[in-house]
């Protein structure tokens, strides 16, 4: 990666492969615990029955399948989010160009007004207004 290669930020290099490796690790752990013969499967089966244990295993498999599908679509998610962010940013810039005063916070308007008042001789006027007669 060169110092000017922006594709690193927009393609998620190696993140899909990393996510798939983590999904495989999670599948191994889930199968060790929730599959028939696993530690948690035995606990659930003894407490609530084999049907509940099978349902827990099916639920973990469904969650894992959803996670794997999400990981597989990582690059398209990044591209979609980047496009949405670019559109939102361009809209904000266009709105600011149309009406630049909307981009200035109210506190800055107040500070600017007080500064302009003082610059235009407001300090002298205030001294005269509060001088004891």
Per residue in 52-107, pLDDT (tens digit) is 888 988 888 888 888 888 777 777 777 788 888 888 988 888 887 888 777 788 89
Secondary structure element (H or E) that encloses residue 33, with its range: helix 15-34
Reduced to 3 states (helix: H, G, I; strand: E, B; else coil), residue 14 is coil
Q: What are phi and psi of 4, to 5 degrees?
A: -115, 10
Runs of H (alpha helix) within 73-105: 74-98
What is the distance of C-alpha 49 from the center of its chain? 41
Is residue 124 pLDDT above 90, yes or no? Answer: no
Per residue in 3-37, pLDDT (tens digit) is 556 665 655 667 777 888 888 898 888 888 888 88
- E-state strands within the chain: none
């Amino acid at each position: 990666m060169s110092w000017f290669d922006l594709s690193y930020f927009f393609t998620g290099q190696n993140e899909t492969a990393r996510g798939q490796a983590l999904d495989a690790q999670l599948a191994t752990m889930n199968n060790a615990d929730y599959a028939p013969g696993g530690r948690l499967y035995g606990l659930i089966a003894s407490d609530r029955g084999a049907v509940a244990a099978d349902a827990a295993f099916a639920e973990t498999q469904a969650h894992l399948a959803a996670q794997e599908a999400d990981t597989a679509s990582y690059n398209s998610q990044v591209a979609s989010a980047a496009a949405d962010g670019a559109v939102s940013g361009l809209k904000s810039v266009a709105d600011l160009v149309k009406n630049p005063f909307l981009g200035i916070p109210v506190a800055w308007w107040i500070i600017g007004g007080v500064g302009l008042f003082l610059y235009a001789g407001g300090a002298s006027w205030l001294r005269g207004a509060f001088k004891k007669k």
